[in-house]
Structure formats: structure tokens, C-alpha cells
């Protein structure tokens, strides 16, 4: 499915992004610059509302009454004529994305854990960080 932009600004070539929690805002900003409505796509996971993707397009006639949902790990393409499309991740791509995301989260946790005064903990963390001494 493809969404037409309201600002027909041709690009030189097609651009692709694999949507992640780290580039979601960058892609959202690009969509806004192209005049395409976009916002986070939220779902309830383990009783908590969580952003799991990006909704692209709107209900109005300027969008062709089309909405695309790109989940984390999916590929968003901006075509040369200013249209956007979403390609769902294959099971292998989704597994690779989840592994990469988990490794980045663990790296961030270990980085924050280097601060001796940090009270930062990740619920259910199974990393190799030594436990914090009791105060």
C-alpha cells in the first residue's frame, strides 16, 4: 500500500529505513517535512501502552483515505515521486531486529550502570552487572 504526499516534492532516488525506536522520530520528521501525517502507533503490551510502530497517512481525501502502519523492524520506503510504502519484516528480519534492539538496550543499561551513584535498574534484567550494594 502506498500513501500519496500532499507536497509532491520529488526525490532523486528512493530512500529506505528499517523502523526502530531509535530512528522513529527522524522518520516522523521526514514525513512531516513531506506533508504526510504520521504519529506513533500504540499497543497494549503486558498491561502497558507502548509505541510499537508508526502510523502513516490519514483519513482525509488528500491521503486517499489510506493509513499504513509500520511496526518496529518493518521497512519504510520513500519513493522517488514522493510516495511512501511499508514492507513488513520477514520472520528472519523481525528476529534479527529484536536481537539488535535487545543488544542496544543491554549496552545502554551497562553504560548507565557504570555510574556508581546510579539507582538505575532494569526490571527483570539478567545481565552480568554486579548487584548494587545495599545502602
3-state DSSP assignment of residue 55 = strand
Ranges of the chain whose pLDDT falls below 50: 4, 6, 11
Cα torsion 95, 96, 102, 106 to 10°: value is 150
**pLDDT score, position 87:** 92
**pLDDT score, position 57:** 82
Domain boundaries defined on the chain:
2-87
**pLDDT score, position 75:** 92
What span, in angstroms and rounded, lies between the C-alpha atoms of 56 and 49? 19
Closest by Cα among 35, 24, 80, 33 to 57: 35
**pLDDT score, position 54:** 92
**pLDDT score, position 102:** 83
**pLDDT score, position 6:** 46
Q: Are 82 and 11 in contact (CB under 8 A)?
A: yes
Amino acid at each position: 500500500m502506498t500513501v500519496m504526499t500532499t507536497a509532491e516534492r520529488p526525490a532523486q532516488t528512493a530512500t529506505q529505513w528499517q523502523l526502530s525506536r531509535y530512528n522513529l522520530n527522524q522518520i516522523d520528521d521526514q514525513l512531516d517535512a513531506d506533508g504526510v501525517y504520521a504519529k506513533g502507533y500504540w499497543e497494549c503490551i503486558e498491561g502497558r501502552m507502548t509505541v510499537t510502530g508508526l502510523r502513516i497517512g490519514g483519513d482525509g481525501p488528500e491521503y486517499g483515505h489510506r493509513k499504513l502502519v509500520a511496526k518496529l523492524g518493518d521497512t519504510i520506503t520513500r519513493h522517488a515521486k514522493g510516495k511512501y510504502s511499508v514492507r513488513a519484516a520477514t520472520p528472519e528480519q523481525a528476529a534479527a531486529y529484536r536481537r539488535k534492539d535487545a543488544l542496544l538496550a543491554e549496552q545502554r543499561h551497562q553504560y548507565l550502570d557504570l555510574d556508581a551513584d546510579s539507582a538505575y535498574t532494569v526490571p527483570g534484567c539478567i545481565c552480568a552487572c554486579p548487584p548494587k550494594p545495599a545502602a
